[in-house]
Amino acid sequence: MSSVFYQVSTLNALMLGNFDGVVTVGELLSHGSWGIGTYEGLDGEAIICDGVAYDGHADGEVMPYGNDEKVAFSTVANFNEKATEFGIADASDMAAVKAALDEVRAGTDGNDNYWWLVAMKGTFPTMKWRSCFKQQKPYTTLSEAATDQREFVSRDEEGWVIGVWCPSFVEGINMPGWHLHFLSEDKKRGGHILEMSIGDVSGTLESYRELALIMPDNPEFADLDLTEDLAEATAKVEGGK
């Protein structure tokens, strides 16, 4: 399997409202069976789990997405033979979860200049997630669209947490640090995680030294200023309302 970290579009393009589809779901899955992102028109939260693309909608429901649907922003990869298997128990909040994941990273090659992919399955005593409603053209910015997002809270969930870790030097291309999405065991609930705790999980973690970045080709993309510092606005969007 490929050991490439495959990314569609850039975070700053998404923040500035470039929500057009870039590649199809089928093309995305040909490059990775695990990952996260969002679909054309900011249509919910993409959770790529074991080769299937799911969409966590703003109404709280999850559905699988077909190969002909399009992706506006995503990061995916495959796990290979050098992946690390691990377990985490009793992480009380998001900060503790990220600290535990960083400890697992440090126990492998621990390289903060690589990209990382994680998938965890187990029990989550608390889970808070969000999703945005599908947008129509002319698109607004992601910050404005997120003011009408929906947030959900559940207890004692079983399911998956899938996410990526990106190095600090890719600010604006992707979000530095951890970005995690949730998918329930029954595949009926999920989205971008705002807060969580772990009861007991087993997981897989892998680092990647090669990035494949696929840029949008819609006319609006040519007019975007991707050098704009959107770190503060991004932090607000990623953290919730």
Q: What is the pLDDT of residues 115-172, one digit of tens each?
A: 999 999 999 999 999 999 999 999 999 999 999 999 999 999 999 999 999 999 999 9
List, for the chain, all residue ranges whose pLDDT scores fall below the cut of 70. Answer: 1-2, 240-241
Burial pattern 101-138, b for ≥16 Cβ within 10 A else e, equals: bbebbeebeeeeebbbbbbbbbebbbbbbbbbbbbeee
pLDDT number for residue 1: 61
220 is written with which tokens? 């609006």
pLDDT number for residue 236: 86
The structure's pTM equals 0.96
pLDDT number for residue 60: 85
CA neighbours within 13 Å on the CB side: how many for 12? 15
Chain position carrying tokens 């693309």: 53
pLDDT number for residue 43: 97
CA distance 207 to 165: 9
Q: Largest alpha-carbon pair distance within the chain?
A: 48
pLDDT number for residue 109: 86
Residue 168: Cβ-neighbour burial (10 angstroms; 0-12, 13-18, 19+): exposed
pLDDT number for residue 239: 76
